[in-house]
Amino acid sequence: MTTELRLGIAGLGTVGMGVLRILREQAGLIESRTGRRITARAVSARNRDKDRGAPLDGLAWEDDPAALAARDDVDLVIEVMGGHEGAARDTVLAAIAAGKDVVTANKALLAHHGHALALAAENAGCVIRYEAAVAGGIPVIKALTEGLAANRITRVMGVMNGTCNYILTRMEATGQGYNALFDECERLGYLEADPNLDVGGIDAAHKLSILSAIAFGTRVDFDAVETEGITAITLEDIRRAGDMGYRIKLLGVAQMTGRGLEQRMSPCLVPAHSPLGQLEGGTNMVVIEGDAVGQIVLQGPGAGAGPTASAVMADVIDIARGIRLPTFGQPATTLREARPARAAVAAPYYLRLMLLDKPGALAKVARILGDEGVSIDRMRQYGHDNTAAPVLIVTHKTTRTALDAAIAAFGNSDVVSGTPVALRIEAV
Ligand SMILES: NC(=O)c1ccc[n+]([C@@H]2O[C@H](COP(=O)([O-])OP(=O)(O)OC[C@H]3O[C@@H](n4cnc5c(N)ncnc54)[C@H](OP(=O)(O)O)[C@@H]3O)[C@@H](O)[C@H]2O)c1
């Protein structure tokens, strides 16, 4: 193939400018690897007058990003604006309607509309690629759709929001509380415009729902991801978990169970010595388990101009090479609608509660747990603070339903104060 591949880029922020930079600096290398010249022809963003730190000479400008798709000099549309409605969705649909391939970094768009977009693209004979949408620079989409295509995937796990991992690991390293670290992230520009997307676990849940679809051949179902953020995690939990050999991570887990597809994004304890336990700062890690391959661990930068643009350009290069895969690794019409299963797989849990200083209090807690079928593996009581003492319990494997029933019963007892913290201990 010798024809030029001409790009229209919608969005000139961190990712869009990163893509232009790679195109400028690596033009020769990319041409030698694909046999084609790949050039940016037209761009779009909200503010034409903004200084973007690099020249946009020679690039046509469109005020309306969807208009990029209609241009005769654009073969492929790169959507790097963000948001799951409005301009991003309109632009991708306009590109498909014009018969053009799409590369996007937009996990929110795919989590909410992935199935409909995949059907539309396949009907029109177009491809949608989105390596950058999950775990930034880590080639995890390629690993699942190509490298592991011969495996029945049993579980996908990962730390996929660098900001949350930064906050949790900095809390542990500096002894500062959640609020101080949240403010630090705000100063450093690590948070999304709506911070709840990060700390509420939503951004990471978007990514998990995309990985689930590929791994299990199911339609993306973001609404079925049980999502809990890191805002309730205290320094005390981090320290107590550490005392028992664990670290707390905002961990995504997807697995197909006898009761349906379990997808959860929540703070979990993982062994401190495991690869996930050792993950520091803003780095991402995805762990994939397949029946033939066993376990593989992918680690790398989950955000930033360079890593994200690297992933966007990998998709562009695949398309330039003529590689055309279905959006979620198999034809969209064959993706099944999965039955959602809530924490179907039993696991040990970490439970922290405040025990009131009363005779027989601990025995009463043990009895309530026993009544719900929850058995205790380890227990520790810490020093009293006037009337109450923190108690840590590690349970044997149990279900979240049984644990929630016990927690509800604590509320009606006269020996536990406040709401206990319950975190799943994930076997990694
Ligand atoms: N940043 C990362 O590290 C990273 C990592 C992985 C995935 N992503 C994803 O990549 C996408 C882009 O992220 P980003 O960090 O580059 O965002 P960003 O820095 O906020 O840039 C967004 C760009 O889109 C333009 N834009 C927004 N709404 C528009 C509209 N209605 N019409 C035309 N242009 C519009 C903005 O224009 P103006 O500049 O004129 O305002 C801006 O240039 C998002 O989906 C994000 O989730 C980002």
Residue 302 has pLDDT above 90, yes or no: yes
Q: What is the pTM of this model?
A: 0.95
pLDDT at 213: 98
The pLDDT > 70 percentage for the chain reads 100
Q: Quick check: is 397 catalytic?
A: no
Residue 13 CB neighbours (<10 A): 15
What does the alpha-carbon distance between residue 363 and residue 380 come to, in Å, rounded to a whole number? 13
DSSP state of 372: T
Whose C-alpha lies nearest to ligand 1, atom 42? Answer: 13
Which residues lie below 8 Å from residue 62, measured CB to CB, with a gap of 6+?
8, 42, 43, 44, 68, 71
All domains of the chain, ordered by start, with CATH?
5-133 (3.40.50.720), 140-301 (3.30.360.10), 349-425 (3.30.70.260)
pLDDT band for position 424 (cuts 50, 70, 90): very high
Which residues lie below 8 Å from residue 187, measured CB to CB, with a gap of 6+?
none
Helix (H) / strand (E) containing 378: strand 376-381
Cα torsion through 189, 192, 197, 199, rounded to 10: 10
CA of 11 to the centre of ligand 1 (A): 5
Please give the average per-residue pLDDT across 284-298, as a whole number: 98
Please give the average per-residue pLDDT across 194-211, as a whole number: 97
CA of 47 to the centre of ligand 1 (A): 12
pLDDT at 387: 86
pLDDT at 386: 74
- Residues contacting ligand 1 via CB (< 6 Å): 11-16, 44-47, 50, 65, 80-82, 87, 105-107, 132-133, 136, 303-304, 308
pLDDT at 2: 60
Residue 134 CB neighbours (<10 A): 29
